[in-house]
Structure 1
Amino acid sequence: MSTLLDIAIRLRSLWATLIALLLGAMLIGLAGHDPLTAYAVLFREGFADYWGFANTLVKASPIVLAALAVCLPYRAGLYNIGGEGQIYVGGLCATLVGLSLPDCPPWLGIPLVLASAMIGGAAWAAIAGALKAYRGVNEVIVTLLLNFVAIHIVSYAVGGPLLAEGAPYPFSEQLPANLHLPMLLPQTDAHLGALFGLLFALALHVHFSRTSHGLALDVIGRNPQAARYAGIAVERQIVVAMALGGGLAGLAGGLEIVGLKYRLFHLFSAGYGFDGIVVAFMAGAQPLLVPLAGLLIAALKAGSGSMQRAIGLDGSIVEAILGLVVMTVAAGLAWKPSPASLLAFLRSKPASGEPINFSTQKATP
């Protein structure tokens, strides 16, 4: 019994998501529409329709990588809230390198562009890691503020030095066709970058469970003092963890450029870095669960327009549902009863009138 309760507690992010969808159904009902019909349209468009699923993959690609950019530093007890800024820096670096390689063959040019995106995102995140490691500055504040710095740097770049000739909107020149990623689904926008999230999720799972560096990050996250006693260079690993996470977010920005947009735009990211935070904690910071959670959030975003056209429901309802997911998942992470206390509650007699003490443990995804 206690084992089942422990599994249920570990899956609390799943229950929180289901509660959010139930509350969303109530909102849809209050708006005068059938919740079952609305959800059927939403998920059919997101998963069952060829073009809709392609749109889901397009949105899932950066979201999954941004979520993994949260999971990796979290292993070391760090909170990377700067995925959005790292996406912007990655996109900027990818554009700069791509425009400088007009005649480079695809087999060399595309890896160079994506590597530059990862390096840019890693360097941007390493700023927060270094301040945390050597000056004790809270990484949440630093990464959050660096988001806005990166967005304004990109806005300046596309509105000034990189502005395309005759552009009616701030954007750069288009990357040469030899640097465009191949399509994953023919006649859609779904590109091969959608597979990167799955590959890196598998790689992170192996890294966390089978490598000494993954073990070192876990020890640092659990007890930095014990890690120092064991001879782990905690400060250096903090910087490395943040940089590796930033590299994944930077890669998401690079894939947006070479796989979808082919040029750098002002505000080219639709908040994917912030969506990644939600997905990471929906998945309990477990890399193998991140692609599934990312597909769910991407399907909600991709299907909102179809739901609005099919039944006339305002697309803001989907945004409200996403907000409910954030709230319920955060509540689930903040409150974690022990299996023993839940078992005592289930076995207690209602007539006794004695309060049940739900002892809480440190919230861990």
Structure 2
Amino acid sequence: MTAEVADPVEAAEISPAADAGFLQRYGGTIEYILIPGAALVGALGVFGIFVALFGKSPLDLYFYMYQGAFGTWFSWQNTLTRAAPLILTALCTALPAQLGMVIIGGEGALLIGALAATSAALVMQSAPPLVVQLAMAAAGMIGGGLWIMLSGGLRQYRGVNETISSLLLVYIALAILNHLVEGAMRDPTSLNKPSTHEIGAANMIGSIPGTDVHWGLLFGIVAAIASYILIYHTVFGFAARVAGGNIRAAKIVGLGVGKLIMTICFLAGASAGLAGMVEVAAVQGRTNANLAAGYGFTGILVAFLARQNPLAIIPVAILLGGISASGGLLQRRLGLPDASVQVLQGIIFVFVLASDAVYGRIGFLKGKF
């Protein structure tokens, strides 16, 4: 009895993943999905062990996390509301990463953007609401953009490491916010928590019809799509990626690296500044210390988990927004501190950083068996 050998072409049609050519073409894409996914699963497993040490069931943990994030329409709305600023602050890290820069100052740009947006609204109280909202958006984006551009300028013209400078600028931004909110911009009627005057109900951004999710989510999605087009489908984006791959080669061929750095940093900061404007105009109604909620720092995790891809940032921000939204339910049902989700985010970040060593080392994704 002789066994018939299947035609290789037919075998590939039946199972594309077994075709070496298919894996060589798409192995990198599969890798960018598989490895972060594995890092996320590993982090959830470690967090489950951590919770089990305190006498809680990991299965209950995962169930209530799902319920708190995606189990009901109310949960979904809460998740999407939290995802909106995460998309915008993640872009603050993802865009400079195209140039090989590690900017982690999205929190500072968010705070400066919020202050600038609030100032614009208070100055233009008598203007039509639409004009005020546009002015707030413009002021927030300019404020945040200039803040991160400062870090880019220090890198380009003074040789200061952008990671360190952008982080330090966060604390400077927080100090400026506290100084103004407790001083020149303080509303005398805000006794328990110093705040600015309210921007006015008419100047608030409403919700998407049929939902309790504010329009900031749409702003974030549009910004992510626009960033993807800019980076991957324009000459400017190609130049940025070339400079990010080899900055010396970019200078040799005549690319204006300094201009690229300043422009990218401004756009990155503008995204985070817009997040600050959204938090003021859609959630808080004024500026106070509540704005320092850590969205800028969580945005760093979103950007790294999305591998700095602007489109991938959208689903990852929704996932991380869901994890954050589940904190309250975990506290009520399992007695865990609300900050437990921050511990999980820290574990995820460690796993994501560790997973960088795996990229390019998985043989079967290169068509090698």
Asked whether the 8 Å contact 1:185–1:191 carries over to 2, the reply is: no
Asked whether the 8 Å contact 1:155–1:267 carries over to 2, the reply is: no
> Equivalent of 1:29, from 33, 52, 57?
52
Asked whether the 8 Å contact 1:131–1:137 carries over to 2, the reply is: yes
- Find out whether 1:230 has 2:253 as its counterpart: yes
Q: Secondary structure at the match of 1:251?
A: helix
Asked whether the 8 Å contact 2:28–2:365 carries over to 1, the reply is: no
Asked whether the 8 Å contact 2:80–2:217 carries over to 1, the reply is: yes
The Cα offsets for residues 97-132 of structure 1, whole Å up to 9 and x where unpaired, read as 011111222222211111100000011111111111
Cα RMSD after superposing both structures: 2.0
Q: 1:340 to 1:49 in 2, by over 3 A?
A: closer
Asked whether the 8 Å contact 2:31–2:365 carries over to 1, the reply is: no
Aligned sequence identity (%): 32
TM-score by length of 1: 0.89
2:167: which partner in 1?
Answer: 144
- Find out whether 1:122 has 2:152 as its counterpart: no
Q: Secondary structure at the match of 2:100?
A: coil
Asked whether the 8 Å contact 1:84–1:274 carries over to 2, the reply is: yes
Distance 1:81 1:334 in 2: 21
1:255: which partner in 2?
Answer: 278
The residue identity in structure 2 corresponding to 1:191 is H
2:200: which partner in 1?
Answer: 176
Distance 1:32 1:248 in 2: 42
Q: CA deviation at 1:237?
A: 1.0
The residue identity in structure 1 corresponding to 2:292 is S
Q: CA deviation at 1:309?
A: 1.1
Q: CA deviation at 1:8?
A: 4.8
Q: CA deviation at 1:65?
A: 0.5
Asked whether the 8 Å contact 2:96–2:103 carries over to 1, the reply is: yes
> Equivalent of 1:61, from 80, 84, 88?
84
Q: CA deviation at 1:334?
A: 4.1
Asked whether the 8 Å contact 1:171–1:264 carries over to 2, the reply is: yes
1:351: which partner in 2?
Answer: none
- Find out whether 1:90 has 2:94 as its counterpart: no
Q: CA deviation at 1:36?
A: 2.2
2:331: which partner in 1?
Answer: 308
Compare 64-73 and 222-231 and name the one that shifted more. 222-231
The residue identity in structure 1 corresponding to 2:176 is I
Which runs of 5 or more structure 2 residues have no equivalent in the other structure? 1-19
Distance 1:316 1:176 in 2: 32
Q: 1:123 to 1:184 in 2, by over 3 A?
A: same
Which runs of 5 or more structure 1 residues have no equivalent in the other structure? 348-365
- Find out whether 1:284 has 2:307 as its counterpart: yes
TM-score by length of 2: 0.88
Distance 1:216 1:343 in 2: 28
Q: CA deviation at 1:21?
A: 1.0
The residue identity in structure 1 corresponding to 2:348 is V
Q: 1:305 to 1:141 in 2, by over 3 A?
A: same
Q: CA deviation at 1:200?
A: 1.0
Q: CA deviation at 1:233?
A: 0.6
- Find out whether 1:10 has 2:10 as its counterpart: no
Q: CA deviation at 1:31?
A: 2.4
Q: How many residues align?
A: 345
Asked whether the 8 Å contact 1:43–1:303 carries over to 2, the reply is: yes
Q: 1:186 to 1:157 in 2, by over 3 A?
A: farther
Distance 2:243 2:346 in 1: 32
Distance 1:80 1:124 in 2: 12
